[in-house]
Amino acid sequence: MHILTKKIAFPNTNQSNEDGLLAFGGDLSTERLLLAYKSGIFPWFNPGDPIVWYAPNDRMVLFPNEIKISKSMRKIIKNKKFAITFNQNFEAVISHCKNTYRKGQDGTWITNEMKQAYIKLHKLGVAKSVEVWLDNELVGGLYGIDLKTQNIPVFCGESMFSLVSNASKTAFIFLANKLEKENYKLIDCQVYNEHLSSLGAREITKTQFEKYLY
């Protein structure tokens, strides 16, 4: 297991263990986070724990042209139930992602330190959000790292939330459609998620995933 120092560097991702755990320590500086995402690595840890960095052997991704939209979702989109915006309220989106209760989870992995790190990335134009509105209230959304700002046509999804049914699905569908038009190669969903699988996301190998980063 690798322990990171103050030096902005990571071990090769082929050194991660069977659970995808690659390294401990370091910090959440802009420079380190950008290097991590460009290398196929992301932080994931609980409050009070040391920073943990992952590079899973199987990577959950969505190729934008493979998005699955059910009949019921097509109806919701056609009826314009929700209003969709991009990058209009990043801080509210990440706050909701941090605080929204999720069934089967005791808490959130978005620490205060992590929240502030991603807000800083947003101010630099790297972290971006999708907002879903209902009657002028924010009811859903997602945020992530836009690697196209680093000349890599990949969007790394971090978290989403939904306060009403289908809000997060709507955010994800609109993001996929937007990224397809803008010639992004894929959306990184990190690890298997049944919700995202139902929307067309699937697992590829670490080696396959990393080819899209170079």
Q: For residue 115, give the nearest of 131, 99, 84, 94 by alpha carbon.
A: 94
Cross-strand partners of 128: 144
Give the Cα separation of 83 and 134 in Å (integer).
7
> Mean pLDDT across the chain, nearest whole number?
94
Can you tell me the mean pLDDT for 2-9?
Answer: 95
CATH class of the domain at 2-56:
alpha beta
User: What pLDDT was estimated at residue 25?
Assistant: 96
Q: 105 falls in which pLDDT band (50, 70, 90)?
A: very low
Question: For residue 191, what are the contacts with CB-CB under 8 A and spacing of at least 6?
Answer: 20, 56, 58, 59, 60
Looking at mean pLDDT, say which of 45-59, 97-111, 134-148 comes out highest.
Answer: 134-148
Over residues 8-16, mean pLDDT:
97
Phi-psi region of 184 (alpha: psi -120 to 50; beta: other; left: phi over 0): beta
Q: Show the beta-strand stretches assigned E in 47-167.
A: 52-54, 58-62, 83-86, 127-134, 137-146, 154-162
Q: Which backbone phi and psi does 108 adopt, to 5 degrees?
A: -120, 155
Q: By CB neighbour count within 10 A (0-12 exposed, 13-18 middle, 19+ buried), where does 50 fall?
A: exposed
Backbone angles phi, psi at 192, to 5 degrees: -55, 135
The domains of the chain are located at 2-56, 60-211
Please enumerate in sequence order all residues whose Cβ is within 8 A of that of 174, keeping only pairs 6 or more positions apart, or say none: 84, 130
Task: Kindly indicate whether the domain formed by 60-211 is annotated with CATH number 3.40.630.70.
Answer: yes
C-alpha distances (whole Å) from 148 to each of 60, 125, 212 are: 19, 11, 11
Q: Is the pLDDT of residue 46 over 50?
A: yes
Q: Which positions ≥6 away from 170 have C-beta within 8 Å? A: 73, 76, 77, 82, 84, 132, 140
For tokens 């056609």, what's the residue? 78
Q: What pLDDT, on the 0 to 100 scale, is given for residue 108?
A: 61
